[in-house]
Amino acid sequence: MSEVWFIREPSKANIPYLIKRDCLIVSDSPDARNELRELGVSAIGSSALVNNTHWLKIINQRDLIIHSMDINSILLSLNLDLELESSLKFHLKFLVSELLYEAFLVASVIERYSCNKVFFDENFQINKITKFETNERSTFIKIKKAFHCGILNKVNFCITNTLFVLSLLWIRLFHKNSLLATSPGSGLKSVLEKQSSVVFLYGNGASKDIKNKVLKCFSLKNSEMMAFPAPRSTIKATKNFEIEVNKGASRLTEGVLKLVPEHLGSLSVSSLSEWLSFQIKDWGSKRKRDMSAIQSVISCMGPKAVVSQHSLDFAACLGIITKNQKINSFLISHGSHIVNADSVADREWLGHSRTMLDGPFKYTAIQTPAAKAFYEKNCFQTAAYETGPLIVKGKLSKSNSIKRKALFGLNSDMNIILHAGTPKPPNALRPIIYETTDEYLDNICSFVREASKVPNTFVAIRFRPCWGISLKSIENALIGYTCWGVFCDGSFEDFLEQSDALVSYSSTTIEQALFAGKPVILWSDQVDYKHLFLGSFSEKLNALKGVWISDSSSLARDIEEINSCFSTSNVNYSDTVQSLYHSFEALNYNQGSALLKLGMGDRV
């Protein structure tokens, strides 16, 4: 085949041309492949092209590129606080990883299929960069774009600023000295709901659902800010800024073109430098807006304390300001933090934690034994406060036949294994430690295939909509297999409570299951990754009892062992990872309550 097309949006593709030319089609979106199939075009996924070796190379090259730039010098050039270093690195990792990932896809296709021409639809970063350079160098397009964006920006600023000022007025009148928290997603709202008064911040513009925003804002108990003002400041590049960006662009160009020099010739140091410069300036403009807006909020309400579920971007700005004003601030992470046996995965988890478990806050909540071991191993600026489970929690309870039947229907009498995963889209890749969308689907398919061979076993797939994959894609991929179901509605905690075991690649749900006393199966079909090992916990364990690292050759035996050890009539938690989690929760129950009352804590 002479041509290869990378497609994520089939509705904009020239299908008759693709069929006529007999092109090779590649898509890393299961939904897009389904849509193409319905149009009579077959496509291959990314799992066949990118494997563990590629991910290791992507991580290595990404780190070399980012380390070639002096991040502190860039922050100083933008007149931003140096404590935003982890936030900027976080975004650069995503940008660079996505571009390298696309380059490796191309290199793999060329090596395997000997294609001469490569084309991308507009949803791929390589295409965006090429168009970005063309647009930036056209004087007419520049003028047209500036005029159009200028009008839109003014309108957007007027709307968001009005909503912001109205929110400020409300909290000044009715929420003085309240608790201030970041966006109430990922369980933070339920953790804080017993507080007498909480103001929640959203670090973004106005929501489309204005009516709902207004109702949530003008509340006497918990108020949610309707919007932050849209960024207005235009950042001009200094000489130092340009020098550092050019260093990164040079390294990035070298890394990409070394893989596919002839096929991605449109990428150059100048095009990548302009693209990187724009991305960093845009990020910097938003952080300047955040610092100004948060300062206004703090001045209006004088919060008694601040709580956040992460320390990224606007939350990091919140931490910096409250730290400088000596206001108590707490991080309650919504993610897992794991010491990993693999050195590369371990470094990835450390980088991940810099905007989740660590940051410019006074205290960080240690919610799990794994987080405690992780904190003790690494160096963090934030003082630890051992709380037990707050957001990362699971309820220990016995199976209830009525609830179980309501959830699983006719399958309730079977051995139910709950699947949960956290796939990441191409623009938010976390190589190895989290699945891509294709890896997520592959792991579901391979697990269902093997579990279907085990008598009386039902796989309940807990699914929430995410990039590139829908309920339909999962159902199509599992045609021909029995004893499985996909569940999108209801509470995850209820499904976990009534299941017999949990299976996952990498997810916070693993630790939720351990708190809930459920056996855990770790499953990785494509990428060589094992989420837990004995060293993942603070206390020494003789064996990883209660957690099974399974594959196709061991799954039937592992399920039989799980049924034997964790059956309702024979459950024995002693000397298991589950018992470690139960003890940790019991030991720290009062500490968690004290944190929510905003008490003081000592370093672990």
208-240 residues labelled b (16+ CB within 10 A) or e (exposed): eeeeebeebbeeeebbbbbbbbbbeeebeeeee
- 3-state secondary structure at position 458: strand
Q: What's the first-to-final CA gap in the chain, in angstroms?
A: 60
> Lowest mean pLDDT: which of 5-9, 334-338, 574-578?
574-578
User: How many Cα atoms occupy the beta-carbon half-sphere of 500 within 13 Å?
Assistant: 25
User: Where do we find the tokens 């030991």?
Assistant: 587
Tell me 84's DSSP state: G
Largest Cα–Cα distance of the chain, in whole Å? 76
Is 536 exposed, middle or buried (CB count within 10 Å of its CB: 0-12, 13-18, 19+)? buried
- Residue 502, helix vs strand vs coil: strand
pLDDT tens digits for range 109-150 = 988 988 888 899 999 998 888 776 555 455 554 554 555 556
Cα gap 20→35, rounded to integer Å: 18
Q: What CA–CA distance (Å, rounded) separates 305 from 327?
A: 6
Q: What is the DSSP letter of 314?
A: H
CA distance 232 to 386: 41
Q: Are strands 3-6 and 24-26 parallel, antiparallel or unpaired?
A: parallel
Distance CA 332, CA 385 (A): 10
> Which two tokens mark 335?
């993610």
Q: Which helix (H) or strand (E) holds 29?
A: none
pLDDT score of 89 more than 90? yes
Whether pLDDT at 538 is above 90: no
Check residue 469 and report its DSSP letter. B
Q: Distance between CA atoms of 517 and 181, rounded to whole angstroms?
A: 31
Say if residue 376's pLDDT is above 60. yes
- Provide the pLDDT for residue 205: 53
Q: How far is CA 552 from the centre of its chain?
A: 28
What is the pLDDT confidence band of residue 201, given thresholds at 50, 70 and 90?
confident
Alpha carbon distance 263, 24 (integer Å): 15
Under the phi-then-psi rule, with left for phi > 0, alpha for psi from -120 to 50, and beta for the rest, what region is 131?
alpha
**What is the per-residue pLDDT for 558?**
96
Average pLDDT (514-520) is 95
Return the pLDDT at 592: 57
Q: In angstroms, rounded to a whole number, what is the distance separating the alpha carbons of residues 595 and 391?
A: 13
> Rounded to two decimals, what is the model's pTM?
0.92
Tokens 């507009």 belong to which residue? 122
Taking the C-alpha atoms of residue 556 and residue 543, their distance in angstroms, rounded to an integer, is 20
Whole-number average pLDDT of the chain: 89
Mean pLDDT of 222-230: 88
Among the listed residues 183, 24, 182, 181, the one whose alpha carbon sits nearest the alpha carbon of residue 109:
24
3-class SS string, 240-309: HHHHHHHHHHHHHHHHHHHHCCCCCCCCCHHHHHHHHHHHHHHHHHHHHHHHHHHHHHHHHHCCCEEEEC
Q: Which residue(s) pair with 424 in the sheet?
A: 436
CA distance readout (Å), 100 to 243, 295, 349, 572: 22, 38, 20, 48
Per-residue model confidence as pLDDT tens digits over 544-587: 899 999 999 999 999 999 988 887 666 677 789 999 999 999 88
Domains belonging to the chain, first-starting first, are 401-585 (3.40.50.2000)
Q: Is 318 helix (H, G, I), strand (E, B) or coil?
A: helix
User: What is the pLDDT confidence band of residue 601, given thresholds at 50, 70 and 90?
Assistant: very low
Residue with structure tokens 């300062």?
Answer: 295
What is residue 265's predicted lDDT score, i.e. its pLDDT? 61
Measured N-to-C along each axis, helices 85-113 and 269-301 cross at an angle, to the nearest 10 degrees, of 150
In the three-class reduction of DSSP (H, G, I as helix; E, B as strand; rest coil), residue 487 is classed as strand
Amino acid in position 596? L
Q: What is the CA angle 38-41-42, rounded to 5?
A: 100
pLDDT exceeds 80 at position 310: yes
Cα 504 to chain centroid distance, Å, stands at 16
- Distance between CA atoms of residues 592 and 535, nearest Å: 25
Tell me the DSSP string of 401-428: HHHHHHHHGGGGGSEEEEE----B-GGG
Per-residue pLDDT of 582-596, as tens digits, reads: 999 988 876 656 555
pLDDT tens digit sequence for 276-308 = 999 999 999 999 999 999 999 999 999 999 999
- Residue bearing tokens 């350079």: 133
User: Can you read off the two tokens belonging to residue 442?
Assistant: 């592959």
Contact between 71 and 90 (Cβ < 8 Å)? no
The tokens for 59 are 């991580």
- ∠ at Cα 538 (534, 540), nearest 5°? 50
Q: How confident is the model at residue 603 (pLDDT cuts 50, 70, 90)?
A: very low
pLDDT at 602 over 50: no
Higher pLDDT, 600 or 341: 341
What 3 state SS string does 551-589 have?
CCCCHHHHHHHHHHHHCCCCCCCCCCHHHHHHHHHHHHH
- Give the pLDDT of residue 599: 42
Distances (CA, A) of 37 to 44, 99, 436, 526, 538: 11, 27, 21, 24, 50
Per DSSP bridges, beta strands 3-6 and 117-120 are parallel
Residues 532, 600: Cα–Cα separation, whole Å: 32
Separation CA 383–CA 362 (nearest Å): 6
